């Protein structure tokens, strides 16, 4: 069997396992919430710290977070224009706009890790600094604006308390100072980090629940998030002459499905939760085909 398929098929099977266990009522979305909470607070930061030890410092990587920010800003402009043309109500417009701006980079991570290993994971997480920053500031602002509390303010603590961000700071700080982590804690970080991919894919499978509400508009949101996200990413790497693995990571991450924070923000700010769930579910199905295809083409 093709080596690429050998690495990708187990990841898809993990997603399918999560979906089947939900159908059999072995796990529920509450369990998936706990799995992702464990990833956010323990396994992902540990994997980032362990990965940073092998990182080759490259000044060109400083562009990664800013490219992610640029993608979100451009898509917000496109989304606002499209939303006005569709003449949707405020809750629908809010879900639509938030959905196309949030890149589900966590969905991409297992595929990137399977193909490119630790180096790919670290570059992907550098890109995600910009994405994460925008999610908890710029995107959340729009969720507030179109939700129940138009005068609400941003909670910066959500961003400053993100464990993956601190994992990056610690990992890069130690790497920049050329400080080697002792064998025992390093083994802990490696063992904890290994659980990241299975937990993410199982959780996504458990969450998977496609619905038909406003299907055409949901499909349009997916096209904007993934299709236009790819086009913007391609223009960025071409104009900036970015090559090698960073180029691949930008193209794949820029084409990521709609993020699960779309559902979280819809719930917090009383946007259309069912519409948000439909967009996320459809984009996951497409992502299972699109992302492995992109990784194969640009490998």
Judged by DSSP in three states, 26 sits in coil
Percentage of residues in the chain with pLDDT exceeding 70? 90
Instruction: Say how many domains are in the chain.
Output: 1
Is a pLDDT exceeding 70 seen at residue 270?
Answer: yes
- The reply to whether 270 falls in a domain is yes
- The reply to whether 162 falls in a domain is yes
CA distances from 68 to 74, 132, 293 (A): 10, 9, 21
Is a pLDDT exceeding 60 seen at residue 219?
Answer: yes
Per-residue pLDDT, 238: 95
pLDDT: which is higher, 249 or 7: 249
Judged by DSSP in three states, 38 sits in helix
CA angle (240 as vertex; 55, 124 as ends), nearest 5 = 35
Summarize the confidence of residues 82-91 as an average pLDDT.
86
Structural contact between residues 50 and 229, judged by C-beta atoms closer than 8 angstroms: no
Is a pLDDT exceeding 90 seen at residue 223?
Answer: yes
Summarize the confidence of residues 167-196 as an average pLDDT.
88
Per-residue pLDDT, 56: 63
CB-side exposure of 195: number of CA atoms within 13 Å?
Answer: 17
Judged by DSSP in three states, 104 sits in coil
- The reply to whether 90 falls in a domain is yes
Per-residue pLDDT, 280: 86
Tens digits of residue pLDDT in 13-38: 888 999 999 999 999 988 988 888 88
Rounded distance between C-alpha atoms, residue 252 and residue 247, angstroms? 9
- The reply to whether 295 falls in a domain is no
Per-residue pLDDT, 44: 85
Per-residue pLDDT, 22: 92
- The reply to whether 21 falls in a domain is yes
216-225 burial by CB neighbour count: b if 16+ within 10 A, else e? ebbebbbebb
What angle, 0 to 180 degrees and rounded to 10, lies between the N-to-C axes of helices 261-269 and 273-298? 160
Structural contact between residues 102 and 139, judged by C-beta atoms closer than 8 angstroms: yes
Q: Which residues contact 93 (CB under 8 A, 6 or more apart)?
A: 83, 86, 146
Residue found by looking up tokens 């930061």 in the block = 45
pLDDT: which is higher, 296 or 238: 238
63-72, 156-165, 173-182: which range is least confident on average? Answer: 156-165
Per-residue pLDDT, 149: 62
Structural contact between residues 168 and 126, judged by C-beta atoms closer than 8 angstroms: yes
Summarize the confidence of residues 275-298 as an average pLDDT.
85
Structure tokens at 190: 């490696």
Structural contact between residues 106 and 142, judged by C-beta atoms closer than 8 angstroms: no
- The reply to whether 296 falls in a domain is no
Is a pLDDT exceeding 90 seen at residue 215?
Answer: no
Predicted confidence band at 8 (pLDDT cuts at 50, 70, 90)?
Answer: confident
Per-residue pLDDT, 182: 92
The structure's pTM equals 0.77
CA distances from 285 to 100, 219, 278 (A): 16, 12, 11
Average of per-residue pLDDT values in the chain: 85
**Domain range enclosing 96:** 11-290
Q: Which residues contact 80 (CB under 8 A, 6 or more apart)?
A: 97
Rounded distance between C-alpha atoms, residue 176 and residue 55, angstroms? 10
* CATH at residue 35: 1.20.1530.20
Rounded distance between C-alpha atoms, residue 263 and residue 222, angstroms? 15
Rounded distance between C-alpha atoms, residue 107 and residue 284, angstroms? 8
- The reply to whether 6 falls in a domain is no
């Amino acid at each position: 069997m093709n080596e690429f398929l050998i690495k990708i098929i187990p990841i898809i099977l993990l997603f399918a396992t999560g979906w089947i266990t939900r159908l059999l009522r072995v796990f529920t979305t509450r369990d998936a919430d706990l799995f992702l909470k464990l990833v956010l607070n323990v396994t992902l930061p540990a994997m980032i710290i362990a990965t940073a030890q092998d990182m080759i410092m490259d000044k060109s990587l400083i562009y990664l977070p800013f490219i992610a920010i640029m993608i979100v800003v451009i898509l917000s402009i496109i989304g606002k224009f499209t939303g006005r043309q569709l003449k949707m109500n405020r809750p629908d417009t809010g879900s639509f706009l938030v959905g196309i701006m949030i890149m589900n980079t966590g969905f991409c991570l297992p595929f990137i890790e399977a193909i490119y290993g630790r180096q790919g994971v670290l570059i992907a997480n550098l890109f995600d600094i910009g994405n994460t920053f925008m999610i908890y500031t710029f995107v959340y602002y729009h969720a507030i604006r179109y939700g129940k509390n138009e005068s609400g303010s941003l909670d910066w603590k959500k961003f400053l308390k993100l464990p993956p961000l601190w994992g990056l700071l610690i990992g890069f700080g130690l790497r920049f100072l050329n400080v080697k982590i002792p064998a025992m804690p390093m083994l802990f970080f490696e063992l904890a980090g290994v659980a990241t991919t299975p937990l993410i894919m199982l959780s996504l499978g458990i969450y998977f629940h496609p619905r038909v509400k406003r299907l055409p508009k949901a499909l349009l949101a997916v096209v904007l998030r993934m299709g236009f996200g790819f086009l913007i990413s391609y223009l960025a790497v071409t104009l900036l002459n970015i090559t090698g693995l960073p180029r691949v990571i930008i193209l794949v991450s820029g084409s990521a499905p709609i993020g699960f924070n779309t559902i979280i923000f819809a719930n917090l700010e009383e946007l259309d939760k069912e519409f948000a769930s439909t967009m996320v579910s459809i984009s996951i199905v497409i992502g299972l085909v699109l992302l492995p295809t992109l990784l194969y083409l640009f490998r």
